[in-house]
Amino acid sequence: MAASYYYSILLASLLFIATTCSANFYNDFAITWGDGRANILNNGDDLTLSLDKASGSGFQSKNEYLFGKIDMQLKLVPGNSAGTVTAYYLSSQGPTHDEIDFEFLGNVSSQPYTLHTNVFAQGKGNREQQFHLWFDPTKDFHTYSILWNPQRIVFSVDGIPIREFKNMESQGVSFPKSQPMRIYSSLWNADDWATQGGRVKTDWTQAPFTASYRKFNADACIWAAGSSSCGSVSTPSTSSSWLNQDLDTTSMERMKWVQKNYMIYNYCADIQRFPQGLPTECAPTS
């Protein structure tokens, strides 16, 4: 990859971080578990989750959303984070729930985190893509974003798309579009599978493990009392461009760059897992 192109990626990341707006964690979220291990700090500007051998911790949004552009800045557990998982995701409830996942799988010191993504629709997931990152996510805050509109879901890091999941209902593929979802985040121990397939366990002498959050922003349709603040999807009452946003040529090139250089697992390339044929959404499109 040419140095000039990499520079454009870095510049876009810095500009995105600089322009992301912040909200107040007291107003937008509720701590749901952890017995004091989750804390809202600095008058609501910051939030931390901690994990020790007794318990992890978590929080959820007070609002439910049906489509939106969600941004959050995270700084992940530093040092030896093996066995820990920091999850940040959207989810509805019930056995046929929808879900859009970022999960950050810790690793031993100096080894890269694994960024695990997944999409559930009508209770069906198994759509994992995993990445390493082009920076150390423990050294500073970085912005992790989910664009969710009726046409597509786009996962982005510092404004750079890393994954797109398109609405292919016309071909029989379920797509999250009718169940409002809350935002959730948790820090928990998953050393039975999270790091190198469970071969590396959590070193509790390093506890407590702490992840930090700031600058949440939701340009989104709030769901309340059975209706959306945006009106109907077909005739929305909002002018937000994200409702019909797609990936332009530059964004597509950036996503291809990430997937070529940093993707480490793609369910759409796992022939052994799907011996009867890859899922429908994995077919190449023109």
The band of 240, judged by pLDDT with boundaries at 50, 70 and 90, is confident
64 assigned to active site: no
Sheet arrangement for strand 84-91: 29-33, 57-61, 182-189, 84-91, 99-105, 114-120, 129-131, 263-266
Please give the average per-residue pLDDT across 147-163, as a whole number: 98
Could you read off the pLDDT of 68-97 as tens digits, one per residue? 999 999 999 999 999 999 999 999 999 999
164 assigned to active site: no
How many CB atoms lie under 10 A from the CB of residue 152? 17
Rounded distance between C-alpha atoms, residue 194 and residue 196, angstroms? 7
pLDDT score at 234: 56
Which position among 64, 99, 164, 253 bears the catalytic label? 99
| Residue 33 pLDDT greater than 60, yes or no | yes
Q: Which residue has the tokens 């007291």?
A: 26
DSSP strand pairing (38-41 vs 182-189): unpaired
Rounded distance between C-alpha atoms, residue 242 and residue 254, angstroms? 19
pLDDT score at 231: 76
CATH architecture of 3-278: Sandwich (2.60)
Could you read off the pLDDT of 206-239 as tens digits, one per residue? 999 999 999 999 999 999 988 888 876 555 555 5
Query: What single DSSP character describes residue 244?
Result: G
Rounded distance between C-alpha atoms, residue 283 and residue 272, angstroms? 16
| Residue 23 pLDDT greater than 80, yes or no | no
Instruction: Tell me the pLDDT of the chain averaged across its residues.
Output: 91
Which position among 103, 128, 253, 281 bears the catalytic label? 103
Rounded distance between C-alpha atoms, residue 234 and residue 208, angstroms? 48
| Residue 20 pLDDT greater than 50, yes or no | no
- Written as six digits, the tokens of 211 are 């992840």
pLDDT score at 216: 97
Q: Give the residue from 89, 70, 221 showing the smallest Cα distance to 145.
A: 70
Cβ(22)–Cβ(45) below 8 Å: yes
pLDDT score at 21: 45
Domain boundaries, the chain: 3-278
| Residue 15 pLDDT greater than 50, yes or no | no
- Written as six digits, the tokens of 21 are 């707006």
Please give the average per-residue pLDDT across 121-146, as a whole number: 98
For residue 208, cis peptide bond before it (omega within 30 degrees of 0): yes
Cβ(127)–Cβ(267) below 8 Å: yes
